[in-house]
Chains A and B, each alone.
Chain A
Amino acid sequence: MTDLTAGLWELLFKGVWVTVQLTVFSAALGAFVAFVVGVARTHRLWIVRFLSGLYMEIFRGTSALVLMFWMFFVLPMAFGWQLVPMWAAVLALGLSYGAYGSEIVRGALAAVAPAQQEAGIALSFSPWQRLTKILLPQAWPEMIPPANNLLIELLKGTALVSVLGVGDITFGAALVRNALGESAPVYTIILVMYFVLAFLLTRVMRAVERKAKAGIGQAPEKGNGLRKLSVRQATAISRSSSGGAA
C-alpha cells in the first residue's frame, strides 16, 4: 500500500471541511423549505395546499443529480443566471431534500392530537399562534428521528457535487487517486470518513432529540448510535402492519 503524503491528507481534509459546509448549509435551506412547504400543506386554502403539494411531488419525483445538472448547465444557458458552483449545489440539495423534509413536518403536525388544535380555536388563538405556540412545540420532537435519517441521506447526497467540480471529499479523493496511481487506499479512507461523519451526525441528533423530548416531558426511546436508525425504521413499518396478523 502506497503511503499518502501530508499534502494528500491535506487535500482530503479540505474536502471534509467543504462536505461539512455543504451539509450544514443545505440542511439549513432544506429545513426552511421543509417547514414552509410542510405547513403550507395543512393550509385551509386549497390553492396553497395544491401548490405546495406540486412542489413536493416535482422535487421528490426527479433525481437530485439531474436537478444539479440542470442548475449547473441549464440555468446559465436558459436564464443567464450563473451561480457559484458551491451555491448551486446547496440550492439543488436544499430544494430537493427540503421536499422530502416537508413530508416529515406534515406528518408530525398531523400526529398532534386534534383536541390540541380545537383547544386553540376555543381559546381564540390566531392560526399563526396555534401553529407556533401549540402545534410546532409538540410536533417537533417527533420530527427529529426521521430528520436524522434524512440528514444522513443529505450527507451522502453531497458526494454528488464532486461531479460538478466542487472540491468536497470525493473530489479530493479523485485528485489523490491520480497522484497515487492507486485507488483502493484512498477510497477506503474516504468511505470511513463519510461513515464517521454520519455517526457524529447521529450522535448530535440524538442529543437534540433528548433535549426536545425533555422539553415536553417525555423520555426518548432506548437505543444507541447508528443502530437506532434501523430500529426506528423497523418499528414504524411493523407497527403499521401488525394489524394484519393472520
Chain B
Amino acid sequence: MDLALKPEHKAFADEIRAFARANLSPATREKTLSGKHYDRDDHMVWQQALGKKGWLTYTWPKKFGGPGWDVTRRFLFENVLAEEGAPRILPFGPKMVGPVIYTFGNDEQKARFLPGIRESTVSWCQGYSEPGAGSDLANLRTKAERDGDHYVVNGQKTWTSYAHWGDWIFCLVRTNTEAKPQEGISFLLIDMKTPGVTVRPIIMLDGAHAVNDVFLDNVKVPVANLVGKENDGWTCAKFLLANERLGIAEVPSSKRGVSMLRSISDDPSMAEKIADVDLQVQALEMSELRALSAMALGGAPGPEVSTLKVRGSEIQQRIAELAMEAVGEYAAPYQPGMLFHDSNETPVGPDHAPPAAPRYFNMRKTSIYGGSTEIQKNIVSKMVLGL
C-alpha cells in the first residue's frame, strides 16, 4: 500500500496540465475560478478539445474508445483539470448515457451514438424526473405506446439540466402500465429535434437558467432507439444512477473551494471552520479512492457510493456557506450581471463577493438532485445494512 506516485504518473500529470494550459480558453478558466456563469461554448469547445485527444470519455475502457486508465490516472486527470480551472465535464453523455449504451445497447446503437459522445459533437440531457416522480422515480408516467416500428411518447420531464443545449435526451418511459412500477419502464433515446418536443426554462433561485421542463407531445421515436429490452429499463436506470452518484461527490472542485476559502479569509475565527471542511474533503477523497480501488478489482459501484454523494453534497454546501460567511454583509448587494464574464459593472464590495450568496443559494440543490440525501440513506439502509 502506498500513496506515492510513480514517475510515469508524474509525467502523466504534467501532460494533462500542459494540455489544459494549451487548450482551455482563458475566459473559461476565469469563469471557473471566479464562479461566473458558463455559456454553451465554454463547455463544448473544451469538451471537443478533450474529445479530439481521446480524453473526454476518460472513464471508458479501451474497447469502446476510452483510454482505459487506471484509478490513479483518472484521479490525476480530474484533479489537475480542476486545479487548472476547467469546467466539469458535463456528465450526461460521457458518464451517463455512454456507459449505458456500451453496456446494454446493441452494436448498431454503439456505432451510431458512441462517437458523438466521445467527441462531444452531440450533447445529451437526462429525462428522468417528472412532476409526479421525483424521489419516487419509478412512479414515472411518461408513456411510450408501440405503433408499428415507432413508439409514440407523451408526457413531461422536469429538472432537465441543459435541455436547452441538448441535441438528444435519454428518457425513462412507461411501456407497460399493468406491471409493477419498476417492471414497466423502458430506456429510450429521443432526438430533441423531433416534432412534439418542447423545452421551457425553469429559472433557479440564483437567477440562473440551467434546468428545464421538457414536454413530449405525440413524439414519434423509432423502436431502434430502445436501449436494452422493452420493460427492462429500470436495470439501465439504476446502473446509470450508481455511476452518477460516484461522479457527483465533486472532490476536485471542493479541494479548489478550500483553497479559495483560505485565500479570501483572514479572520482567525474562520480558520478552524475551513480546516474542518478541508479534513472532510480529505476523508471523502480517501473514501472515494477506496471505492474506486475496490471497483478496479472488479465490479460496478456498489450502493455504498450513496454515502459519498451525501457527504460530497454536504461539503459543497458547507464551502459555499463559508465563502458567504467570509464575505459578510457584502454578500448582500444583488449584482446578477456580475456573474457574466463580459459584464462592465464594477462590484459594490470585494471582487469575490458577487457570486457568494448566489452560489450558497444554488448549492442547496446538491443534497436534492441525483437522489436526495434522504433517498440515498434509504438506499444504504436497505442495500448495505439490510434494514
Q: Do A and B come from one complex?
A: no
- Spell out A's residues near B (CB within 8 Å): none
